[in-house]
């Protein structure tokens, strides 16, 4: 059950409440709606001073969608969840269009901005605008959740696998077994190293198996340098042949090259981690291997928000997730800087840019249309809530 955020008269976050309790608070007039998204109530009367139990916000950052979950570590309940869709592709496309407009103006000898030379250095920690938007989206939602909900700690998935766990290349027989935490870390490591595709037929999006380059029957070891990933058919076809005998001598050489630690963490996640630390809450980091391990042993299906709920070593023994419906969030951006829209060739097709408000409304406003049943072309819009956060 997704819980409802509640704040007191001074907008201090209180314990989130069950939806039934929230309904009672509203119908009895003890509370009013403060925010629609995320649904938040404000109490009308003073509340006795009981310190709310601090909760944990958990994040699984993704390139297209980021999972968010608010979890009570003591009870294991997922109190709130969200799935945040990013707009990296739209930003990239917007910049491409802007470059096209400038180029066409230069060609047409209209007034234009001079192209800049590549003589500028980028500040340390610079991220491409499409990547920065992902970091900013997550940060603004963490800030929003912290405003309406008592958060005491943050967990985020930082690395795909744990380089420390794989530091010892010799894998003991028991540890190598699938289903252990080490097994999951190893699998994530191999997927990253071999580009998430079958090493032999390069097929993607098929179930991949851990595969011995020199088969164990031929004296191959369980060392990381003797392992690769292969699809089922290739694995069967290869049988007890070595990769060289199978016609892939280069695989043996590639397996000897170690994957650097840096490959475990991408720049976007690292930037997010650095910024989350600035909130001065304790930030726990987990690996993709551990998230999968946590989810599998608890037999929880895979979704972005459930992945988020399973991030990190702090995940409670039982996670109560049934009945929770994630809030589906779509990043909309703010205004754009393009002065007028252009067609595919770059010619202006709209009027010059106007203000960001149209008849009092702006992007992201929640509106209700009041349209009389007798006519379709008349009516009014009015606000239902103004989330100016
Ligand atoms: Zn294959």
Model confidence over 71-122: pLDDT tens digits?
999 999 999 999 999 998 899 988 888 888 888 888 988 888 888 887 788 8
How many angstroms does the Cα of residue 196 sit away from the middle of ligand 1? 11
Cα 301 to ligand 1 centroid, rounded to whole Å: 26
pLDDT in tens, 296-315: 999 999 999 999 999 999 99
- CA 361 to CA 105: how far, in whole Å? 32
pTM of the complete model: 0.82
Dist. CA 269 → ligand 1 center (Å): 31
If you measure from the C-alpha of residue 235 to the centroid of ligand 1, how many angstroms do you get, rounded to a whole number? 7
CA of 164 to the centre of ligand 1 (A): 30
Q: Tens digit of pLDDT for each residue in 221-272?
A: 888 888 899 999 999 998 888 888 888 888 888 888 777 666 667 889 999 9
Q: Residue 28 Cα, ligand 1 centroid: separation in angstroms? A: 63
């Amino acid at each position: 059950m997704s819980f409802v955020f509640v704040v007191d008269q001074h907008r201090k976050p209180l314990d989130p409440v069950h939806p039934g309790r929230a309904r009672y608070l509203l119908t009895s007039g003890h509370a009013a709606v403060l925010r629609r998204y995320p649904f938040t109530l404000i109490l009308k009367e003073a509340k006795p001073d009981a310190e709310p139990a601090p909760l944990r916000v958990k994040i699984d950052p993704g390139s297209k969608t980021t999972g968010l979950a608010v979890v009570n570590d003591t009870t294991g309940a997922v109190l709130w969840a969200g799935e945040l869709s990013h707009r990296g592709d739209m930003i990239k496309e917007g910049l491409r269009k802007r470059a096209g407009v400038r180029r066409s103006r230069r060609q047409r000898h209209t007034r234009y901005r001079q192209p800049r030379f590549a003589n500028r250095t980028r500040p340390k920690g610079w991220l491409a605008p499409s990547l920065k938007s992902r970091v900013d989206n997550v940060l603004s939602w963490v800030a929003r959740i912290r405003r309406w909900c008592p958060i005491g700690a943050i967990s985020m998935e930082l690395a795909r696998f744990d380089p420390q766990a794989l530091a010892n290349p010799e894998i003991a027989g028991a540890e190598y077994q699938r289903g252990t935490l080490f097994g999951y870390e190893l699998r994530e490591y191999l997927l990253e190293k071999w580009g998430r595709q079958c090493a032999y037929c390069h097929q993607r999006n098929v179930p991949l198996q851990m595969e011995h380059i020199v088969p164990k029957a031929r004296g191959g070891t369980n060392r990381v340098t003797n392992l690769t990933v292969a699809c089922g058919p290739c694995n069967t076809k290869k049988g007890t042949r070595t990769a060289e005998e199978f016609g892939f001598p280069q695989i043996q050489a590639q397996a000897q090259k170690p994957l650097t630690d840096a490959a475990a963490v991408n720049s976007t996640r690292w930037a997010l981690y650095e910024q989350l630390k600035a909130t001065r809450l304790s930030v726990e980091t987990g690996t993709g291997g551990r998230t999968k391990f946590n989810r599998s042993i608890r037999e929880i299906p895979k979704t972005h928000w459930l992945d988020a709920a399973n991030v990190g070593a702090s995940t409670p023994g039982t996670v109560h997730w049934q009945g929770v419906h994630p809030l589906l969030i779509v990043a909309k951006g703010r205004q754009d800087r393009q002065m007028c829209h252009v067609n595919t060739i770059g010619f202006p097709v709209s009027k010059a840019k106007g203000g960001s408000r149209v008849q009092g409304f702006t992007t992201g406003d929640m509106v209700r249309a009041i349209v009389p049943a007798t006519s379709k072309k008349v009516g009014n819009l009015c606000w239902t809530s103004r989330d100016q956060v």
